[in-house]
C-alpha cells in the first residue's frame, strides 16, 4: 500500500513538473499601452505600423479632429541575465529617444532594482536613433548588473535602429558584438583543466589550488557560480548568445559532459567557490559536529529534493528563472540578494564552522544534479561490463565496482560529502 502511494505521489509530481515546464514555454503578451504612455505621454493614441520589431505611431488630434503623427514607439527585446528583457522605447520626429521602460524581464529582481535605482534608463533619453548605444562606449554599464544593463542597451539599440531604417530611411546597422574571450574565460578554463588533471591522475594536492582559485575567480572576481537559476533558464530555453557568454556554456554544458565522461563530481568538490569557503570555515571551526543518528541526518538531507522541486516549479509558473536561485551565492559573491537570502547567508556560514559543508549536505541542489548525471553513466557502464563479460573478458571497466553482480551506487554514496576520490 505504501509503495503504491509513493508511486502515485511521484507520478503526480512528475506530471506537475512537466506541465509547469510546458507553461513556462508559452508566450503571454502583457498590455503594452501603459508602457507606451510612459515613454510617449504626448500621444493620444497609437497605431501599429510594423511587426518585426513591433512599431507604433503616436498620434494626436488638433481642435478640428485632424490626426497628426507625433513620433514612434518601438518594442524590442534582447537577452539579459535570466532570459529575454523586453523594452518599450519612445522616439520623436527628430529621431531622438524620449524615454524607455522595461515591459517584461526574467532577471533577478535585485539586478533590475539596481538598474532602476541608478537611473540607468534615463541615460538613453536624448540619444539619437543612429547611435550604437554600446556598453562602455555610448552608455555606461551598471556594476553588479552587467548582463541586465547590457540586455537593456541592446534591446533599445536594436529597436531604435529598426525605426531609423523603416521610418527615417537611414542606413543604420546594428553593432555585432565581438566574441568575448578574456581573463574571465581563461581563468575558468584553466581551473577546469586543473581540476580534471587532479581527478584523472589523483593529484589531491591540486584540489586546494583549484578550490582557492575558484573562490577567488569564479566566486568573488566574476560571480559565475552554477546556480539552480541557470538550470531553470536552460530548461526554459533561455540561451544567452555564446559570443558574449562563453563561460555560461562552459559551466552549464561543459561541466556536466566532463562529469559524465570521467564519472566524478568535479564541480562540487573541486570547483565550487561556496564549497571552498565552507571547507575553509570548517578547518577554522573544526567542522567535526555530526548528527547522533545517521538515519535522521539522511532524512533531513532529503530537504534539498523538496527545495529544488518547489524552486523549479515556482520558476516555471512565474516564467522567471531567477525565482529558482535560492542559493546564497550571489548574496555573498556579488552582494546581491533579496530579504531572506541576507538572513540565510550568515546562518549557513556560521553553521559551516562546525558542520562540514553544511549547505552542501542539506540544501545545495548541486549534488542532486550530479546524481542525475552519474546514475545514467553507472547504468551504461553496467551494460558495457555485461557485454564484456559475455565475451569472456574479465577486464574491469573504469567507473564500475566489481564484476559479477555489479550494482549501481546508492544515492547516499553518490552524494557522499566526505572529500574522497
pLDDT band at 409 (very low <50, low <70, confident <90, very high): very low
Using the predicted structure, report yes or no on whether residue 417 has a pLDDT greater than 50.
Answer: no
Length of the chain: 421
φ, ψ (nearest 5 deg) of residue 251: -80, -40
Cα gap 141→153, rounded to integer Å? 9
Q: What is the distance between the alpha carbons of residues 79 and 106, in angstroms, rounded to a whole number?
A: 9
129/162 Cα distance (integer angstroms): 9
Q: How far apart are CA 180 and CA 407, in angstroms?
A: 45
pLDDT at 109 over 70: yes
Domain assignment present for residue 177? The answer is no
User: Is 26 within the bounds of a domain?
Assistant: no
Q: Which domain, by its residues, includes 94?
A: 33-167
Residues 152 and 190 in one domain: no
Beta-carbon neighbour count of residue 270 at 10 Å? 27
Instruction: Find out whether 219 and 302 touch, Cβ atoms under 8 Å.
Output: no
Lowest model confidence (mean pLDDT) among 171-180, 195-204, 390-399: 390-399
Same domain (yes/no): 152, 219: no
Is 371 found in the same domain as 243?
yes
* 163 shares a domain with 189: no
With respect to residue 176, please indicate whether it lies within any of the assigned structural domains. Answer: no
CA 383 vs CA 377, 387, 404: distances in Å: 10, 6, 12
Determine which helix (DSSP H) or strand (DSSP E) holds 371, and give its type and residue range.
helix 366-390
Q: What is the pLDDT of residues 42-96, one digit of tens each?
A: 888 999 998 888 999 999 987 777 888 999 999 999 888 777 889 999 999 999 9
What is the predicted pLDDT for the residue at 319? 85
Q: Which residue shows C-alpha cell 551598471? A: 142
pTM attached to this predicted model: 0.78
| DSSP string for 279-300 | HHHHHHH--B---S-HHHHHHH
Same domain, residue pair 163 and 187: no
Per-residue pLDDT tens for 223-251? 889 999 889 989 988 888 888 889 999 99
Same domain? 320 vs 197: yes
Cell 534591446, residue located: 155
Instruction: Tell me if 328 sits within 8 A of 363, measured CB to CB.
Output: no
Q: Any residues with CB less than 8 A from the CB of 377 and at least 6 apart, and which? A: 260, 263, 399
pLDDT band at 143 (very low <50, low <70, confident <90, very high): low
The residue among 167, 193, 222 that closes a domain is 167
Domain count, the chain: 2
**Number of neighbouring beta carbons within 10 Å of residue 258:** 18
Amino acid at each position: 500500500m505504501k509503495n503504491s502511494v509513493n508511486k502515485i505521489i511521484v507520478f503526480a509530481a512528475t506530471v506537475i513538473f512537466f506541465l509547469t515546464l510546458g507553461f513556462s514555454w508559452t508566450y503571454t503578451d502583457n498590455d503594452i499601452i501603459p508602457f507606451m504612455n510612459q515613454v510617449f505621454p504626448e500621444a493620444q493614441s497609437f497605431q501599429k505600423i510594423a511587426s518585426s520589431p513591433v512599431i507604433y505611431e503616436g498620434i494626436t488630434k488638433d481642435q478640428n479632429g485632424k490626426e497628426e503623427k507625433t513620433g514612434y514607439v518601438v518594442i524590442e527585446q534582447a537577452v539579459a541575465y535570466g532570459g529575454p528583457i523586453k523594452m518599450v522605447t519612445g522616439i520623436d520626429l527628430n529621431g531622438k529617444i524620449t524615454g524607455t521602460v522595461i515591459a517584461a524581464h526574467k532577471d533577478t529582481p535585485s539586478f533590475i532594482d539596481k538598474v532602476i535605482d541608478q537611473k540607468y534608463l534615463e541615460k538613453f533619453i536624448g540619444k539619437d536613433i543612429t547611435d550604437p548605444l554600446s556598453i562602455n562606449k555610448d552608455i555606461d554599464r551598471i556594476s553588479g548588473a552587467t548582463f541586465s544593463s547590457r540586455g537593456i542597451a541592446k534591446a533599445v539599440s536594436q529597436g531604435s535602429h529598426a525605426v531609423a531604417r523603416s521610418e527615417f530611411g537611414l542606413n543604420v546597422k546594428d553593432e555585432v558584438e565581438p566574441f568575448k574571450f578574456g581573463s574571465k574565460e581563461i581563468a575558468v578554463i584553466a581551473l577546469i583543466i586543473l581540476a580534471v588533471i587532479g581527478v584523472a591522475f589523483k593529484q589531491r594536492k591540486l584540489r586546494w589550488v583549484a578550490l582557492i582559485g575558484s573562490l577567488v575567480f569564479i566566486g568573488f572576481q566574476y560571480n559565475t557560480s552554477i546556480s539552480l537559476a541557470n538550470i531553470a533558464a536552460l530548461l526554459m530555453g533561455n540561451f544567452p548568445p555564446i559570443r558574449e557568454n562563453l563561460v555560461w556554456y562552459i559551466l552549464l554544458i561543459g561541466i556536466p559532459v566532463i562529469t559524465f565522461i570521467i564519472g566524478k563530481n568535479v564541480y562540487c568538490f573541486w570547483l565550487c567557490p561556496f564549497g571552498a569557503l565552507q571547507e575553509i570555515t570548517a578547518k577554522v571551526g573544526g567542522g567535526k559536529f555530526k548528527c547522533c543518528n545517521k538515519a535522521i541526518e539522511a532524512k533531513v538531507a532529503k530537504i534539498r529534493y523538496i527545495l529544488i522541486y518547489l524552486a523549479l516549479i515556482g520558476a516555471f509558473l512565474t516564467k522567471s528563472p531567477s525565482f529558482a536561485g535560492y542559493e546564497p551565492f550571489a548574496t555573498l559573491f556579488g552582494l546581491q540578494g533579496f530579504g531572506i537570502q541576507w538572513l540565510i547567508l550568515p546562518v549557513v556560514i556560521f553553521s559551516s564552522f562546525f558542520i562540514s559543508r553544511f549547505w552542501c549536505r542539506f540544501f545545495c541542489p548541486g549534488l542532486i544534479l550530479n546524481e542525475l548525471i552519474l546514475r545514467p553513466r553507472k547504468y551504461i557502464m553496467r551494460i558495457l561490463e555485461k557485454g564484456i563479460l559475455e565475451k569472456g573478458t574479465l577486464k574491469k571497466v573504469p567507473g564500475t565496482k566489481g564484476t559479477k553482480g555489479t550494482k549501481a551506487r546508492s544515492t547516499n554514496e553518490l552524494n557522499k560529502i566526505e572529500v574522497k576520490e
